[in-house]
Structure 1
């Protein structure tokens, strides 16, 4: 009996050890699976070390100062070039693009944010390039990445932006008066005529202004009218992470990763004026689909496009 009891006790201990080991393995696998799912679901824009310490802020100010000095130098050089090209407006547009390629790339390099570019094969086509807008970094990126022979359309107040605004005008890019609808429409028609005549591309922010929190705003109708009058395809540029790297009202550049994604061209040859709202909603929904959750429009904002 004693041996039987001992044998039974040992079997019980072995069974307990087995179940404990099995349970432990299950828990470990569950935890590992949960962590993996969390990492997969977590937006890449969160995967950086943010800091508001004095050292981080000081480094950021130094980078901004270097950017300013660099822009002053490149602007001075290209301003001289464009002054010599005053009789040739198309050549000034081209030189403005080259200035943008050099300066925009330098700005991003100095600031040091990691960057990923997708769909670059769509970035050299003659088209209307549109981009969401949530940060000054967006301007640097489109300066760098839009093709030579691209004319910009911006609000008339851009002339007061130090350095950039004056060169923008000298480079023969277009400005519109948003406070005067009649003048704005005429400016759009002028832009369309210039684009067709000189085989240019266009770059425009369809939201019409900068988003304060990175979320996509409703689109204005300007890019639609330009597409209708020029017949050019639309190439969306989806920018993510820029609102985290350079937040509105701040001079602290954070090391958030940036992503630029060129989507395939959208043909506009069959577009008609009576379906304007449908086309705008389609392009807006396409943007929302390719943005992370934190940059998608809120339901109230989405309903304005419906």
Structure 2
């Protein structure tokens, strides 16, 4: 009887030893690896999901209607103010800027896109502010984030934009007839005269139009001529994500994250008229370096080969 109990005891000890051996560090290591794999496969909660469902569309419609009504209120208030300031052009510009700051900030708050702003230390320079352009949201951002005392330059058709276009003209901002080169040049000269006379800054989209897919377009020469005539530094504003938030030709605003990055001012007081194309390429290259891959311009094989040779 004692032998039987002793044998049973020894067998149980061997079994416990075996189980302890196999449930040690190796099993813990396996569990750790599994947890890492699970974490890696788990979707992140802050990732933007492009949702075209009816709920997302309904929310977008409500936000757009709210934006329009808000713009009606702010535009009406500042139209009255600006009409009272008709004899004082510089004050009209500044009041237009204040209206832009209020309206632009309200629009972005209503639309609800997460916004990250970098380089704020360069946002109060007296300068020529330039920005890439891929969405109507870009307009809200630049009127909100450019300093008071900034005159805008836009295409002449902006006057037909409901509410915003009419206030734009009343606030003494400038329009360009892109179909008429001589008229466009004259508008640029007027802009420089206003800037010098009233100590103003400028804001312009150097691409001249909105990009359809968010990718950077070639730059026009206008901003370089403005810099040559005024001697003001150029402050690039790099906008990312706006093309995903509100696509060209769409009325569906999505909650895509947006980034605004001010780059250090580029001195232009030593620029010369014979290097206009070089300056355009230099500034365009700065944007290419600072934009994410999906917003960089598509480089053709011919361009690649020519740059290598």
Q: Deviation of residue 19 (structure 1)?
A: 12
Deviations for 1:273-292, whole angstroms, at most 9, x for unmatched residues? 11111111111111011111
Q: Please give the per-residue CA displacement for 1:111-138, whole angstroms capped at 9, x wherever unaligned.
A: 1111110001100110000000000000
The aligned counterpart of 1:11 is: none
Alpha-carbon shift at residue 233 of structure 1 (Å): 0.3
1:299 is paired with a residue whose SS is coil
- 3-state DSSP of counterpart to 2:68: helix
Unmatched runs of 5 consecutive residues or more in structure 2? 1-19
Structure with higher Rg: it is: 2
The answer to whether the Cα contact below 8 Å between 1:122 and 1:235 also exists between their aligned partners in 2 is yes
Instruction: Give yes or no for contact 1:218–1:302 (8 Å, CA) kept in 2.
Output: no
- Of 206-215 and 17-26, the range deviating more from structure 2: 17-26
User: How many pairs are equivalent?
Assistant: 293
Compute the displacement of 1:104 (Å). 0.2
- 1:4 corresponds in structure 2 to none
Give the Cα separation in 1 of the matches to 2:301 and 2:136. Answer: 22
Aligned CA distance change for structure 1 residues 290 and 302 (closer, same or farther; 3 Å): farther
Contact 1:98–1:148 under 8 Å retained in 2: yes
2:94 match: 94
Query: In structure 2, what is the Cα distance between the partners aligned to 1:301 and 1:245?
Result: 30
Aligned: 1:241 with 2:221: no
Partner of 1:157: 157
The answer for the alignment partner of 2:111 in structure 1 is 111
Aligned to 2:252: 252
Secondary structure of residue in 2 paired with 1:280: helix
Q: Please identify runs of 4+ aligned residues in structure 1 that moved more than 2 A.
A: 14-36, 300-304
Match of 1:229 in 2: 229
In 1: Cα distance, 2:206 partner to 2:165 partner: 20
Bigger shift: residues 123-132 or 276-285: 276-285
Aligned to 2:177: 177
Contact 1:82 1:171 in 2 (8 A): yes
Q: Which residue of 1 aligns with 2:66?
A: 66
Q: Could you report, residue by residue, the CA deviation over 1:252-290 in whole angstroms, capped at 9, with x for unpaired residues?
A: 111101100000000001111111111111111110111
Worse-matched range after superposition: 125-134 or 188-197: 188-197
Structure 1 SS opposite 2:129: strand
Residue of structure 1 in register with 2:265 after alignment: 265
The 3 A distance-change label for structure 1 pair 56 and 25 is closer
Q: Distance in 1 between matches of 2:24 and 2:277?
A: 66
Q: TM-score, normalised by structure 2?
A: 0.85
Moved more, 18-27 or 245-254: 18-27
Secondary structure of the 1:218 match is coil
CA deviation after TM superposition for structure 1 residue 35, in Å: 7.2
Shift of 1:48: 1.3
Deviations 1:22-77 (A, max 9, x none): 995897699599879x99xxxxxx92133111111111101100000000010001
Secondary structure (helix, strand or coil) at the match of 2:278 reads helix
Unaligned stretches of 5+ residues in structure 1: 1-13, 40-45
Give 1:276's aligned residue. 276
CA shift in 2, pair 1:58/1:30, >3 Å: closer
Tell me if 1:193 matches 2:193. Answer: yes
Aligned counterparts of 2:40 and 2:154: Cα–Cα separation in 1: 47
SS at match of 2:276: helix
Whole-angstrom distance in 1 between the partners of 2:140 and 2:302: 28
Q: Rate the CA distance shift 1:88–1:292 in 2: closer, same or farther, 3 A.
A: same
Q: d(CA) in 2 for partners of 1:252 and 1:301?
A: 35
Q: CA deviation at 1:189?
A: 1.1
- RMSD of aligned Cα (Å): 2.9
